[in-house]
Structure 1
Amino acid sequence: MSNGPEAPSRIIIRNVRLFDGVSDAPRDNVDVLIEGEHVVAVSTSALAGGASEGVTEIDGTGKFLMPGLSDAHVHLMGNANSMLDFVQGPTGTLYGNTIAEAKRMLMRGFTTVRDMGGDLAPIKALIDRGTFEGPRIFPSQAMISQTSGHADFSFVYDVPEEFGGKPSRTEDIHFTRVADGVPRVLAAVREQLRQGATQIKLTLGGGATSMYDPLNTLQYTPDEIAAAVQAAGDYGTYVATHVYTSAGIARAVAAGVKSIEHGHLADEATVALLAEKGVWLSMQPFAEDDHHFPDPLRAAKNAQIARGTDQVYAWAKKHGVKTAWGTDLLLEPQSAPRQSVMAARLGDHYTNVEALKMLTSGNAELFELAGERNSYRAGKLGVIAEGAWADMILVDGDPLADLSLIADPDTNFTVIIKDGAIVKNTL
């Protein structure tokens, strides 16, 4: 018979060099106390503790403590499965692969992610209750596309649902939703919100993985986009849009979209517009070899996107755009570990401290646009401070001096803590 609720577990990490997620300079000889799921003390004076008081102590002397990493644009289900898996694989295998990849992502130090397409709300719920290990998830649920748009994965000979055809396989498993016209777009947005989406993902232009659409296509009319924005806003959240081109970005911004996903083909005036309107640019530091396309047409689109990376980052810095970081790895499970390499690559465009801020507190600021759809409001994400969620990494080395350390988490991340639980400890 229980004598009442158990006392929260207590962990002290001692004598670390602390990067708290927001400060420009780290602090040395810091102790951090965790009780239960939250940080309760950060001190340059030794905190009382010890095994006799039920405290687990970790000696962080000579090591670097930082908040857990975040990724603002993942496709956990897409990361974990190939196109063949989606088309022919059993549904159970798709979800099993996704759960396995969620744990691997956590072991790479990613304690929070924003998923931009896939049926992740059930997996989020299982992770949150402790059934499986994985990062905190902000799910978009199915990415919403027009017929022949970026997320239309039906075959060319399939009859569109608008004309009486059946939904595609990816729609059956809630990876995508094709919807044309204002009424269907409204229904599609509300469907994702009903299923647990924290934000809505629309596809407004072509992409490298698309089967039908060139990069320069404009997808969804202004009325359709505005309808999605209103439906999301009625739930207290926002719309994020896949789009690369200046014309597509301008249409999205005019309709009230809050987050531009990608934007690699934008011109300077359009990047400046994002700063003026306070719209987020959720970028990925793409290199051409991050994705592999045997189809020459898609390979050419991928190369064009990658070529835009350096220039758009430079303009974003010049104009002070609110910029988030993500990966958007998709349909190539063998490439999933590149997430860590792409995180370190952010240092090609920003100082190391700017990069670490974006990977932690910066992304978290974007996630908070979900308002009350954010189920993690009981603590602060992306920082190490009193009252914050206890999500952190102990690094063997100083990423502020050498950002490449985060590219090899197996070697360099000695301790990973998520939700106050030690999920990795190699000390």
Structure 2
Amino acid sequence: MAPDAPVDVFVHARALFDGFSRREGDGLLVRDGRVVDVGTRGNLAAAGATVVDFGDAVIVPGFVDAHTHVTIRPGEGDQHGQIVKPAVWQTIRGVENLRRMLASGVTTAKIMTEEHDIDFEFRDAIARGETAGPRLRVAGPGLSPPGGHGSAAGGVAGVGPLREAVRARAERGADHIKIFTTGGVSSVNSSLAESNYSGEEIAAIVRSAAEYGLKVSSHAHGGPGVDLAVANGIHSIEHGALLDEGNIAAMATAGTWLTFTQTILFHPSGIEQGDAQVPAIMAKVREARAYVEGNVGRVRASGIPMALGTDSMHGLFGYELQWLVEHGWSPLEALVAGTRHGGELIGDPDIGVLRPGAHADFVVLRRDPFADITAVFDVEAVYRAGRRAVSGDGAVSAVAAAGR
């Protein structure tokens, strides 16, 4: 066989979740970083194929962290201060953060704000196999008005400047555009409901992004900040901690996505740890937690399409899945949200699923997540682009992949 000839690998375990349903005894035939087919060993492990048998494990698609950052660590506090630190400081941290993400089973991540072109550079370095991490979909700096949540490195307001800002990000190679239409939990002087931008400004951002084939995601928690975003064509609402009945109805009618980010809010190593000494922030944490806990049934019943993000809680994607199950979702629904829905949100049907033609990105779990969702923390292996990137002892390797 020539050195560059395709090599077939059949990966098998007790069960497989393909992004749609559980399949007993099926495995994956992989070639050149893609899934060739899904089926039994007898049907697919053709002569010459290398067989990798994980015994009683369960295979699931690689997790899609649909809202995170490369450089921020919420548990260290002052997230706005972190994002304006020197590029070298941020880059060093980014290497470890991305390693943690991949080790936890995240094979694709949607990056929602970075400075210094760090997300662009990491995206391309990962694709070349120069450093380890998930596939990245990047936006560059988020758009927020001067003084608004997310504007630590400088704000942008007004139709003309906003259109120019979108153009600059698109020409740099952004995969999507991120804006802030409300304040945030982790900032002191910002509202979680009032809109940072007018409807005219949001519409200009959405139209400008569409000219480059890009969709727009909006950091928004509730109130007019959500309603104006939805009314003017935003693709997804990020966080949504204070969604009221009107917000939810508007999103359901428009088909607007919701990206839940509960780890940063509820996990003790999130905002609670990093900003414990800031009374104004902790008051927002308590407010948001109480509202989410009381409102989660309404969100679930609405049928709004939903994906999941850790918002920089690197290595804790499993907590997002666990939180959903503890709040009424079935393990199947949680796994769909963390895999296939993430791919649908970012507009790539070959991500978050295991079917012919899809990226061979998958996680091997030692236990069955359908029986106990905490099995998502028990990772035996992670494959990205058909190659093993994480082994059972947690060792992480860089994987080159053609394209993104």
The alignment's TM-score, normalised by the length of structure 1, stands at: 0.83
Change (3 A) 1:345 1:288: closer
Structure 2 CA distance for partners of 1:275 and 1:88, relative to 1, 3 Å: closer
Which consecutive unaligned segments of at least 5 residues does structure 2 have? 394-404
Which residue of the other structure, out of 105, 110, 113, is the alignment partner of 2:109?
113
Corresponding residue for residue 129 of structure 1: 128
Which residue does 2:137 correspond to in 1?
138
1:248 matches 2:225 = yes
Aligned to 1:302: 285
Q: Which amino acid aligns with 2:5?
A: A
| Alignment equivalent of 1:220, drawn from 176, 190, 197 | 197
**Residues 334-369 of structure 1, C-alpha deviation per residue, up to 9 Å, x if partnerless?**
x5343332332221231110000110001111010x
Give the corresponding residue for 2:299.
Answer: 316
Deviation at 1:109, TM superposition (A): 0.4
Q: Aligned runs of 1:151-300 on 2, under 5 Å?
A: 151-153=150-152, 171=153, 177-285=154-262, 286-287=265-266, 289=268, 290-292=270-272, 293=275, 294-300=277-283
Structure 2 counterpart of 1:158: none
Corresponding position of 2:363: 393
Indicate if the aligned counterparts of 2:102 and 2:315 stay in contact, CA closer than 8 A: no
Amino acid at match of 1:103: R
Is the 2:321–2:335 contact (alpha carbons within 8 Å) kept by the matching residues of 1? no
Deviations 1:270-292 (A, max 9, x none): 20211111111111233273313
User: Which residue of 2 is the match for residue 70 of structure 1?
Assistant: 64
- Give the C-alpha shift of residue 324 in structure 1: 1.4
- Measure the CA separation in 2 of the matches of 1:112 and 1:87: 22
Letter in 1 for 2:236: S
The equivalent of 1:353 in structure 2 is: 332
For residue 96 of structure 2, give the secondary structure of its aligned residue in structure 1: helix
Aligned 1:329-408 pairs, distance under 5 A: 329=312, 336-349=314-327, 350-368=329-347, 380-406=350-376, 408=377
8 Å CA contact 2:59, 2:362 repeated in 1: yes
Does the residue aligned with 1:415 lie in a helix, a strand or coil? strand
Report if aligned partners of 1:18, 1:65 keep a CA contact under 8 Å in 2.
yes
Output the CA distance in 2 between the equivalents of 1:4 and 1:205: 57
Q: How many Å apart are 1:208 and its aligned residue?
A: 1.6
Counterpart CA distance in 1 for 2:84 and 2:200 is 36
* Structure 1 residues 88 and 397: CA distance shift in structure 2, 3 A: closer
Deviation at 1:310, TM superposition (A): 2.8
Q: 1:82 to 1:210 in 2, by over 3 A?
A: closer
In structure 2, the partner of 1:93 is 89
Offset of 1:214 from its aligned partner? 3.0
- Three-state SS of the structure 1 residue aligned to 2:355 is coil
State the alpha-carbon separation in 2 of the partners of residues 201 and 41 from structure 1.
36
Q: 1:66 to 1:214 in 2, by over 3 A?
A: same
List runs of 5+ in structure 1 lacking aligned partners: 154-170, 172-176, 330-334, 369-376
Aligned to 2:18: 20
Corresponding residue SS for 2:37: strand
Structure 1 residue 45, shift from structure 2 partner: 4.6
Tell me how far apart the structure 1 counterparts of residues 78 and 223 of structure 2 sit (CA, whole Å): 29
Aligned to 1:373: none
Q: Distance in 1 between matches of 2:217 and 2:112?
A: 9
Report what 2:401 is aligned to: none
CA distance in 2: counterparts of 1:392 and 1:312, whole angstroms: 33
* Letter matched to residue 255 of structure 1: N
Q: Is the 8 A contact 2:12 2:41 kept in 1?
A: no
Conserved? CA contact 1:316–1:323, under 8 Å? no
2 CA distance for matches of 1:367 and 1:88? Answer: 27
Distance 1:35 1:354, change over 3 A: same
* Amino acid in structure 2 at the alignment position of 1:347: V
Q: Judging changes above 3 Å, is the alpha-carbon distance between structure 1 residues 352 and 88 closer, same or farther for their aligned structure 2 residues?
A: closer
TM-score for the superposition, normalised by structure 2: 0.88
Q: Say which SS state the counterpart of residue 344 (structure 1) adopts.
A: helix
Match of 2:399 in 1: none
Give the counterpart letter for 2:386 in structure 1. G
Deviation string 1:299-324 (CA, Å, 9 cap, x unpaired) is 11122122222344322222211111
Deviations 1:16-50 (A, max 9, x none): 30111112xx2222132111200112112525658
Q: Partners in 1 of 2:94 and 2:321 — Cα distance?
A: 21
Q: What is the correspondence of 1:36-55 to structure 2 with a 5 Å cutoff?
A: 36-47=32-43, 49=45, 53=48, 55=49
Q: What amino acid is aligned across from residue 140 of structure 1 in structure 2? A: A
- How much is the aligned-residue C-alpha RMSD, in angstroms? 2.3
Check 1:337–1:18 CA distance in 2 against 1; reply closer, same or farther (3 A cut). Answer: closer
Q: CA deviation at 1:83?
A: 4.4
- Map Cα deviations across residues 212-268 of structure 1 (whole Å, 9 max, x no partner): 323343211111111101111111121111111222111111111111111111211
In structure 2, give the amino acid aligned to 1:102.
L
The alignment of Structure 1 onto Structure 2 pairs a total of residues equal to 381
Q: Is the 8 A contact 2:194 2:223 kept in 1?
A: no
Checking the alignment, whether the CA contact within 8 Å between 1:33 and 1:47 is kept in structure 2 is no
Structure 1's 183 and 13: CA in aligned 2 closer, same or farther, altered over 3 A? same
Task: Verify the 8 A CA contact 2:102 2:390 in the aligned structure 1.
Answer: no
User: Could you tell me how far apart the structure 2 residues matched to 1:304 and 1:288 are?
Assistant: 15
Whole-angstrom distance in 1 between the partners of 2:86 and 2:13: 49
Residues 288 and 306 in structure 1, CA contact (< 8 A), matched pair in contact too: no
Distance 2:244 2:123 in 1: 37
Larger Rg: 1
Contact 1:393-1:415 at 8 Å conserved across structures: yes
| 1:110-153 per-position Cα deviation (integer Å, ceiling 9, x unaligned) | 00111111131111011011111110111121111101211122
SS at match of 1:224: helix
